[in-house]
């Protein structure tokens, strides 16, 4: 039986178990109870709204890991070249203040110690396409681990485990190892750091910060959650308002927001630039966090930077992407004039701001009028955007509890593997939605855990 068939059979088996109305009601009740007990909310929205996890086979996961490892070598190459070469770095369209900060050596070698690739994997034809690289503040790792525990304890899982084996994809250990690896390289020692988890107090992911705080403390590491506006930099040290000295910042606040709200001379930024504190991820992560990084990978002008395996991985897994500008470039073996071509091919293209998150500012060409598309293209010439080829989003059926019964509907589904030290996969986030923007706040949006499944 093929991997795709094994996965389909496992999904059918789980959904078949939920045909037992009493069992399904118990699963729904448990899921609601665990959300409340654990605090698994994105703001006020429950993290998960369905009754089954995402399922992959071990063979599929091994293939995904191998392909990502190769692709991460390509990301590392363009990051290293960008740090060393001003002209090459211009392709990423950094802002002036970002140019200032990326020259600062963070004290460790990884461009982005903890990151996440946002992708789409089709089990049926084993295609894997990466549409964004979250190299700055990848959220969700602790949520995923909490949710995995919940799914494994559902009554349906108990029945499913009679015929199948389920292996969870833990993710927060990868974050912990990335932080400690960066700290050891930064400090030159092995003493555990005092970790400050920094972000604004009103962000919807604050519940995940608590999961991380508890996890770090369970491993004997002092950790506290603080708002960067509360921190003080004095006598060469960074302090939280209660006097807690921060050695290592687990940075969840966006660099843009940190600098634009508080300034480049704010206490946190000065402490990092003075190497008084280690920060993960560093300011330099902005280079590959830019959406333009995918354009740099796929641009024919840069093909000479990669070896044969890296080039094959880029061509197989990165949709055609270019920075919006007046130029000629290659598309499907032909030379095109980029702007007129993009204007004429709205229904097969997406426009994305170079630096934004959560689907903000994204324009899906096939869902807007031609006038709106042309207006966005004009905007894109002044504020950096990328244009990316539309991809087919995979779908899978998911069971949910609606009005006292089970309802199985198809949802669009992504896969977002977490990457440790810009090298290897440690766990993954999966999001499902009925809206093609496919984030947690999208229509029908939900996070689900991903498990490796195989028959006993």
The secondary structure of residue 444, as a DSSP letter, is T
Kindly state the percentage of the chain with pLDDT values over 70. 97
Q: Is 324 within the bounds of a domain?
A: no
In this prediction, residue 124 has a pLDDT band, given cuts at 50, 70 and 90, of confident
Distance CA 9, CA 14 (A): 9
> What number is the average pLDDT over the span 50-78?
97
Q: Is 355 within the bounds of a domain?
A: no
In this prediction, residue 70 has a pLDDT band, given cuts at 50, 70 and 90, of very high
> What number is the average pLDDT over the span 264-288?
97
325: left (phi over 0), alpha (psi -120 to 50) or beta: beta
> What number is the average pLDDT over the span 264-282?
97
Give the residue numbers spanning the domain of 271.
Answer: 3-288+394-455
In this prediction, residue 438 has a pLDDT band, given cuts at 50, 70 and 90, of low
Q: Which two tokens stand for residue 268?
A: 């946190």
Collapsing DSSP states into helix, strand and coil, what is residue 68? Answer: helix
For the stretch 85-97, pLDDT in tens is 999 999 999 999 9
How many other C-beta atoms can be found within 10 angstroms of the C-beta atom of residue 244?
Answer: 16
> What number is the average pLDDT over the span 291-320?
97
In this prediction, residue 440 has a pLDDT band, given cuts at 50, 70 and 90, of very low
Residue 14: is its pLDDT beyond 80? yes
Q: What is the CATH number of the domain that holds 69?
A: 3.40.50.1760
Buried b (16+ CB within 10 A) or exposed e, 115-153: bbbbbbbbbeeeebbbbbbbbbbbbbbbbbbbbbebbbe
Number of domains in the chain: 1
* Model pLDDT, residue 361: 86
> What number is the average pLDDT over the span 272-296?
97
* Model pLDDT, residue 356: 78
Q: Is 256 within the bounds of a domain?
A: yes
> What number is the average pLDDT over the span 176-203?
97
> What number is the average pLDDT over the span 278-298?
97
Q: Is 134 within the bounds of a domain?
A: yes
Q: Is 92 within the bounds of a domain?
A: yes
Q: Is 322 within the bounds of a domain?
A: no
**118: Cα separation from own chain's centroid:** 5
107: left (phi over 0), alpha (psi -120 to 50) or beta: left
Mean pLDDT rounded to a whole number for the chain: 95
Buried b (16+ CB within 10 A) or exposed e, 370-403: eeebeebbeebeeebbbbbbbbebbebebbbbee
> What number is the average pLDDT over the span 57-70?
96
* Model pLDDT, residue 442: 46
Q: Which two tokens stand for residue 328?
A: 């000629």
> What number is the average pLDDT over the span 435-448?
64
Going by C-beta distance under 8 Å and a sequence separation of 6 or more, which residues neighbour residue 71? 117, 130, 310, 313, 314, 317, 318
Q: Is 204 within the bounds of a domain?
A: yes
* Model pLDDT, residue 42: 86
More confident residue, 419 or 443: 419
> What number is the average pLDDT over the span 368-393?
94
For the stretch 130-165, pLDDT in tens is 999 999 999 999 999 999 999 999 999 999 999 999
* Model pLDDT, residue 358: 63
* Model pLDDT, residue 164: 97
Residue 434: is its pLDDT beyond 90? no
Using alpha carbons, select from 447, 424, 451, 415 the residue that is nearest to residue 169.
451
Residue 301: is its pLDDT beyond 90? yes
């Amino acid at each position: 039986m093929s991997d795709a068939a094994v996965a389909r059979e496992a999904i059918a088996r789980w959904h078949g178990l939920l045909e037992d109305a009493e069992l399904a009601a118990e699963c729904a009740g448990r899921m609601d109870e665990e959300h409340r007990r654990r605090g698994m909310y994105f703001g006020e929205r429950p993290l998960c709204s369905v009754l089954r996890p995402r399922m992959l086979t071990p063979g599929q996961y091994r293939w995904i890991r191998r392909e990502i490892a190769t692709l991460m070598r390509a990301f590392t190459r363009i990051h290293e070249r960008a740090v060393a070469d001003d002209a090459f770095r211009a392709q990423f369209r950094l802002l002036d203040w970002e140019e200032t900060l990326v020259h600062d050596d963070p004290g460790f070698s990884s461009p982005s110690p903890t990151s996440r690739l946002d992708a789409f994997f089709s089990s049926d034809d084993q295609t894997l396409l990466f549409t964004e690289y979250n190299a700055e503040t990848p959220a969700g790792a602790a949520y995923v681990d909490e949710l995995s525990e919940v799914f494994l304890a559902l009554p349906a899982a108990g029945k499913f485990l009679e015929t199948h084996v389920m292996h969870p994809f833990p993710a927060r250990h990868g974050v912990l190892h990335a932080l400690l690896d960066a700290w050891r390289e930064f400090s030159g020692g092995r003493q555990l750091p005092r970790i400050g988890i920094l972000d604004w107090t009103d962000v919807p992911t604050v519940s995940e910060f608590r999961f991380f705080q508890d996890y770090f403390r369970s491993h004997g590491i002092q950790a506290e959650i603080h708002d960067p506006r509360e921190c003080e930099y004095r006598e060469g040290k960074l302090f939280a308002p209660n006097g807690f000295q921060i050695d290592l910042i687990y940075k969840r606040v966006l660099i843009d927001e940190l600098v634009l709200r508080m300034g480049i001379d704010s206490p946190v930024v000065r402490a990092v630039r003075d190497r008084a504190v280690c920060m993960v991820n560093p300011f330099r992560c902005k280079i590959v966090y830019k959406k333009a990084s995918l354009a740099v990978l796929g641009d024919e002008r840069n093909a000479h930077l990669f070896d044969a395996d890296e080039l094959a991985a880029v061509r197989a897994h990165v949709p055609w992407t270019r920075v919006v500008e007046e130029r000629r470039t290659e598309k499907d073996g032909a030379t095109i004039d980029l702007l007129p071509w993009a204007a004429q091919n709205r229904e097969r293209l997406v426009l994305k701001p170079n630096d934004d998150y959560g689907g903000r500012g994204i324009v899906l060409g096939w869902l807007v009028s031609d006038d709106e598309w042309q207006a966005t293209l004009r905007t894109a010439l002044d504020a950096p955007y990328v244009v990316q080829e539309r991809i087919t989003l995979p779908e899978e059926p998911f069971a949910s509890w609606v009005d006292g019964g089970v309802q199985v509907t198809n949802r669009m589904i992504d896969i977002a593997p977490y990457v440790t030290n810009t090298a290897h996969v440690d766990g993954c986030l999966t999001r499902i939605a009925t809206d093609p923007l496919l984030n947690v706040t999208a229509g029908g949006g939900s996070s689900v855990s991903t498990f490796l499944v195989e028959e006993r």
